[in-house]
Amino acid sequence: MPIKAENIKYIYSEGTPFRTLALDNVNIKIDQGEFVGIIGHTGSGKSTLIQLFNGLESATEGRVEVDGILVGEDKKKLKLIRQTVGLVFQYPEYQLFEETVAKDVAFGPLNLDLSQEEIDVRVKEALELVGFNYNKIKDASPFELSGGQKRRVAIAGVLAMKPNYLILDEPTAGLDPAGRNEIFHQIKKLHERSNVTVILVSHSMEDIAKLVDRVIVLYKGKVHMQGTPKEIYSEADELERIGLGIPQIASIVRELRNRGFNIKQGILTIEEAKEEILKEVKRRNV
Amino acid sequence: MFKNLTIGQHYPVDSPIHNLDPRLKIIFTIIFIISLFLIESFIGFLIVIVFLTVVITISRVPVKFVIKGLRPILFIILVTFIINLLMTPGRVVLTLGFIKITEEGLRQAGFMAVRLILLIMGTSLLTLTTSPIILTDGIESLLKPFTKFGLPAHELAMMMTIALRFIPTLMEETEKIMKAQKSRGADFESGNIISRAKNLVPLLVPLFISAFRRADELAMAMEARCYRGGENRTRMRQMKISKGDYAAAFVFTVYFAAIIVFKIW
């Protein structure tokens, strides 16, 4: 079952001087099990879009469907939708509030009216999914942890609700490279191990290129491009025009190609690039 | 949830009223309030209504916006109206059981309601046409003479500026945390008072933590830029009385004179 957004239009502050069209005729379908990246500039409408997916906002026009349920139609189903679509906001560590890590992660499942045993199991699972030793971390205060750890606790808080879709809004913003790699590594592992659909929202091409199967580029509230990372990055000029740019390695390869080096197109990782460049060097020496 | 909240609702357009000196606007507003309490008849209010209509038209703030500012105090107006209606002794015009409505009561109630409505519309025009920062600049400048008597004018103004500056930030933050907790299945809208208060904990704890963090960061950022109170501070926006201010002062004096003449007469 997919998430479907059809002809979405979203207008902020209608009828005031601050009126802005945040989303304009957006059509998106995301299937179960996919790993999708949504890329766009600040103000391209990506944060608004993901809030439509779990019913925090409702579209001015158009319809959003999650696993066959029309979002916003029935208020009683909102809880179910929010459980199905787990949303991790930007800087999620600011939502932590409980005395212990375990209690904080249990907040979501508790709201789902599960049994205490079920909650305990889920808390343990979720904390281990994000790479914690449950027994070591469970009684710690969330406020004593490092930034990266706090963020992983917050992500565990959403995972504990067992969503079918996990949406992460800039999950690595403000983290150091080690923290960033850690988070991406966990997300990747999570997607491989379970059938959970992951939607990664970012303005950084670099991060998304290596991870996702499909990229959706939002520009000025519209779906500007859609496709596999390779397809998207082959349109480097267009991406640069809308101010997004391509991963550093892809732009190096592009520049080398422009100068007459015979390197294949669509390279996204440094490893691939290394191989190709070495091949070319060998060819030239011969 | 916060879409209807309008504290210091500034309506940003360019108009002669917006460009007036904030000090003048504050003084005008105070005198305007006094003028409302000098008036003793409905005809007197006509002068005020004409004056207010002219000012609103010049300010280019939609009338709808000014009237919307009345919504929060609608209840107070209603209560005042009913109390005045029922409690004023005089010639009875209508009897419903034990309720007696008098002619004087009707007049008094109507009078009070009109006065309150004009009061709010007039004063909200100050905040609608002046950005909060400029407004506190004006207040600071007006309070300056009182520093001789130990009033910390600069500190008060700075506190006000910071408070005003952080209202939208805190509201944004509240909305964000609320959404984050809602995504985890939190419910802020249903239940009885006790469970509702309990449900606020996941909202208030993060909010307080972030408010303290922000205060810390702000204090440090200010100190890093050598802030140390009002001594010898210069400002980027110098307030100067311009020709337009003289014209406005003239018009306003005419208005106030008309009210006084009308009262004595």
Residue B148 is assigned to a structural domain of this protein: no
Q: Are residues B263 and B229 in the same domain?
A: no
Can you tell me whether residue B188 is helix, strand or coil? coil
Q: Are residues B247 and B224 in the same domain?
A: no
Contact check, Cβ <8 Å, A158/B210: no
B12 contact residues in A (CB cutoff 8 A): 17
Residue B147 is assigned to a structural domain of this protein: no
Asked if B8 reaches chain A (Cβ–Cβ under 8 Å), the answer is no
pLDDT, one tens digit per residue, over B26-64 is 999 999 999 999 988 888 899 999 999 999 999 998 888
Residue B74 is assigned to a structural domain of this protein: yes
Q: Are residues B7 and B106 in the same domain?
A: yes
Whether the predicted pLDDT of A167 surpasses 50: yes
Q: Are residues B18 and B109 in the same domain?
A: yes
Q: Are residues B213 and B253 in the same domain?
A: no
Residue B146 is assigned to a structural domain of this protein: no
| Cα radius of gyration rounded to whole Å, chain B | 23
Q: What is the mean pLDDT of residues A176-192?
A: 89
Q: Are residues B121 and B175 in the same domain?
A: no
Give me the residues of B, 161-220, that contact A with CB < 8 A. Answer: 173, 176-177, 179-187, 201-202, 205-206, 209-210
**Least Cα separation, residue A237 to chain B (angstroms):** 35
Residue B103 is assigned to a structural domain of this protein: yes
Q: Are residues B207 and B260 in the same domain?
A: no
* Best mutation target, B5, B184, B198, to test chain A (most A CBs within 10 A): B184
Q: Are residues B206 and B84 in the same domain?
A: no
A158 contact residues in B (CB cutoff 8 A): 183-184
How many structural domains compose chain B?
2
Q: Are residues B244 and B116 in the same domain?
A: yes
Closest by Cβ to A112, choosing from B177, B185, B202: B185
Q: What percent of chain A has pLDDT over 90?
A: 50
Whether the predicted pLDDT of B7 surpasses 70: no
CA-closest candidate to residue B117, choices B79, B83, B69: B69
Q: Which domain holds residue B205?
A: 154-233
**Least Cα separation, residue A108 to chain B (angstroms):** 5
d(CA A189, CA A183): 10
The ipTM of this complex is 0.85
What pLDDT band is residue B8 in, cutting at 50, 70 and 90?
A: low
Q: Are residues B8 and B76 in the same domain?
A: yes
DSSP letter for each residue of A223-246: EEEEE-HHHHHTTHHHHHHTT---
Q: Are residues B170 and B255 in the same domain?
A: no
Alpha-carbon dihedral sign for residues A186, A188, A193, A196: positive
Q: Are residues B47 and B108 in the same domain?
A: yes
Residue B145 is assigned to a structural domain of this protein: no
Nearest CA in chain B to A94: B206
Contact check, Cβ <8 Å, B180/A89: yes
